[in-house]
Amino acid sequence: MSKSGGSQGLISTGNVMLGLPSPPIEEEPLQKDLARNIETLKKIFADCSDIVYRNIQVAQGQDAILFYIEGIVFAQEIEAQMLKPLIIGYVENEDGDSIESPQNTRVSLLQASKATTWGDIITAVINSCVVLLIEGTAEAHIFNVRGGLRRGVEEPQTESVIRGPKEGFTETLRLNTALIRFKLKTPKLKMVNFVIGEETKTDIVLSYIEGLVDPKQLRDVTKRLKDIKIDGILESGYIEELIEDHPYSPFPQMQYTERPDTVAAQLLEGAFAIVVDGTPFVLIGPVSLWQLMQASEDYYERFFISNFVRLLRYFFVLIAIFLPGLYIAVVTFHQDMLPSRLILSIAAAREAVPFPVLVEALMMEVAFEALREAGIRLPKTVGQAVSILGALVIGQAAVEAGIVSAPMVIIVSLTGIASFTIPRFNLAIAVRLLRFPFMIMAGIFGLFGIVITFVWILVHLSQLTSFGRPYLEGVSPYYKKNQKDVFIRMPWWKMIHRPQGTTKENNKRMEKGINGTPKPEKGW
């Protein structure tokens, strides 16, 4: 085997091959003989029906081959910018010199490079490049013609707002980074590239604003990302679970969002974002519990409304966690806590129910969760049937049959509504999960059980960190400045500083003196 060609066997691109058991073919250099190269190529991509080979002749009748994967490249571009110039160039220039570097002389495509090993070629082809091999050279010419049909920018499905931008991320990484760049037009916005997944080769971008992000944290995240060795990353959830601080906590330690404006806002407060190719959900970290209770619209509506809505949300979170447990505790232990008429109504409603309250409540809550799950998974066309069945079966019919009491239906519905007021779905799920321990403890120990469970959760929350930052940051440890945006939101002209904790230096976000009372010019 001749060892001609440039730097042999060196994997020089940024796309690091991760931990493959180094089959020799990856490191083998290209041959000068085109036929042998094609043979190797067909061996590597055996049974890959989506790979396209196109034989052409370039200058001086040299045989050449173009190959790419169909569907992920921009086919029209290949035709117009590669095939035509190469073929026409050959026809017009029949006695010309051999082609040394087509990317400089013939092909008008933006991104072009060369490769000499099979490993680089493979990486290039699966990353939507077209590779040109020419008889007599041990060099492959690589042209990036990324394309293919993917979803365009649409309104986010999971985070809709009344007021605020309606654009959402898509499955295309570069479109997503562009959407962030549209919001933050500064070179300080950095986008560091990673490729994770031995088979998926998923592009991942770590984005942050230089000068705002904590450098220590950045190093930490970079290390955690680099340490990931996995065959595939199909969704940002993989990354989240692989890099979070406390994998055994029910509480989400990263926020995910479909909204570029949310990402931009968090980046401006010193957070970092992880954009994963192939999913519209961008991860944001570090995150505190309070951030997960904030909706983007809190900052777009006037602050009276925002505060009202935010306080309402906090109130309903408490309902979502405590209400079923409280009901069970009061009805099985503390009958003297309720007004007489109320307790008698409950007693009357429960008279025909054959189960203890705890069993009744668990039944109903599980049924509700099942209904919710079915509603998400079912095809939209049968969705209506589910809601009708659910309303009838776990609502009216169960009450009329005397299996479930009417107050319990009210409690379950109210809890369900309450859990939907939490703006972040991952926190909402955690809250929904947590109410089961509350219910069971309330059923066994009454109010005392609720208090104990609450203390447990509080202890856990106090220990919890997100990328080294306390989960309850702002309240515990208490930062006075952060109170402007935890339970309430102060008007924008009062929030001069960025939240303490995430950003230490450079934490001023606006000039003082812009207050809410500009005076109209005189003469009106």
Partner 1 sequence: MTVTAIVLICPVFLSGCWDRKEINDIAFILGTAVDKEGSKYRTSVQIAVPKELGGSIGKSGGGKGWYIESKLGKTVRLSSLEIQRNNSRTINFSNRRSLIIGDELAREGISPIMDVFTRTLQNRLQSMMAVTEGSAYKILDTDAPIEQFPTEMVRELIMNFTKEAISIKSVLNALLSDGIDPVLPLLKVDDSVPSKVGEPMKNLRIVGLAIFKGDRMVGTLKGDMVKIMILSMNQNRNTEMSIPAPEGEGDLVFLFKDSNARFVPTIHGDDVTMKFHIRMEGSLVENASNFSPTNEVGMRKLEQLLGDKVRKDLIEVLDILQNEYHADSLGFGEIIHQHKPKEWDRLSSRWKDIYPHVKVEIETDVQLKTVGQALKPMGLPQEEIIHD
Among 3, 43, 185, 341, binds partner 1 (CB under 8 A): 341
336 vs 521, beta carbon nearer partner 1 = 336
Q: How far apart are CA 123 and CA 15, in angstroms?
A: 8
Per CB under 8 A, 464 contacts partner 1: no
- Determine the interface stretch with partner 1 among 9-17, 161-169, 248-256, 330-338 (rule: CB under 8 A): 330-338
Among 16, 25, 35, 348, binds partner 1 (CB under 8 A): 348
Per CB under 8 A, 393 contacts partner 1: no
237 vs 250, beta carbon nearer partner 1 = 250
Query: Which residues are within 8 A (CB) of 96 and not within 5 positions of it... i.e. 6 or more apart?
Result: 59, 60, 89
Rg of the chain over Cα atoms, rounded to whole angstroms, equals 30
Q: SS3 string of 28-43?
A: CECCCCHHHHHHHHHH
Among 349, 447, 461, 490, binds partner 1 (CB under 8 A): 349
Cα 318 to Cα 312, 325, 425, 457, 461, distances in angstroms = 10, 11, 16, 13, 15
Cα angle value 505/508/509 (rounded, 5°): 130
On whether the CB atoms of residues 277 and 202 are closer than 8 A, the answer is yes
Q: How far apart are CA 509 and CA 491, in angstroms?
A: 14
CB of 242 to partner 1, least distance (A): 23
Question: What 3-state class would DSSP assign to 392?
Answer: helix
Phi, psi of 194 (to 5 degrees): -135, 150
Closest Cα partner for 193 from 178, 173, 179, 165? 173
Torsion angle (degrees, nearest 10) of CA 328, 331, 332, 335? 140
CB of 389 to partner 1, least distance (A): 20
Among 91, 352, 392, 510, binds partner 1 (CB under 8 A): 352
CB of 355 to partner 1, least distance (A): 10
- Determine the interface stretch with partner 1 among 45-53, 62-70, 95-103, 449-457 (rule: CB under 8 A): 449-457
Per CB under 8 A, 247 contacts partner 1: no
Per CB under 8 A, 249 contacts partner 1: no
Per CB under 8 A, 515 contacts partner 1: no
Q: How many residues bind partner 1 (CB under 8 A)?
A: 34
423 vs 449, beta carbon nearer partner 1 = 449
Per CB under 8 A, 359 contacts partner 1: no
Give me the half-sphere count of Cα atoms (radius 13 Å) on the Cβ side of residue 128.
Answer: 16
Per CB under 8 A, 250 contacts partner 1: no
385 vs 452, beta carbon nearer partner 1 = 452
Closest Cα partner for 130 from 236, 224, 54, 59? 54
Q: How far apart are CA 147 and CA 75, in angstroms?
A: 8
Instruction: Write the single-letter amino acid at 351.
Output: E
- Determine the interface stretch with partner 1 among 85-93, 255-263, 438-446, 477-485 (rule: CB under 8 A): 438-446
Among 324, 449, 470, 501, binds partner 1 (CB under 8 A): 449
Please name the helix (run of DSSP H) or strand (run of DSSP E) that holds residue 218, with its range, or none.
Answer: helix 215-226
Q: Which two tokens stand for residue 201?
A: 């080769």
Among 448, 479, 487, 492, binds partner 1 (CB under 8 A): 448
Among 236, 279, 291, 405, binds partner 1 (CB under 8 A): 405
30 vs 357, beta carbon nearer partner 1 = 357
Among 69, 73, 233, 399, binds partner 1 (CB under 8 A): 399
Per CB under 8 A, 445 contacts partner 1: yes
263 vs 353, beta carbon nearer partner 1 = 353
Question: What 3-state class would DSSP assign to 73?
Answer: strand
Query: Which residues are within 8 A (CB) of 119 and not within 5 positions of it... i.e. 6 or more apart?
Result: 11, 17, 26, 27
Residues that bind partner 1 (CB under 8 A): 331-333, 335-336, 340-341, 343-353, 356-357, 399-400, 402, 405-406, 444-446, 448-449, 452, 455-456, 459
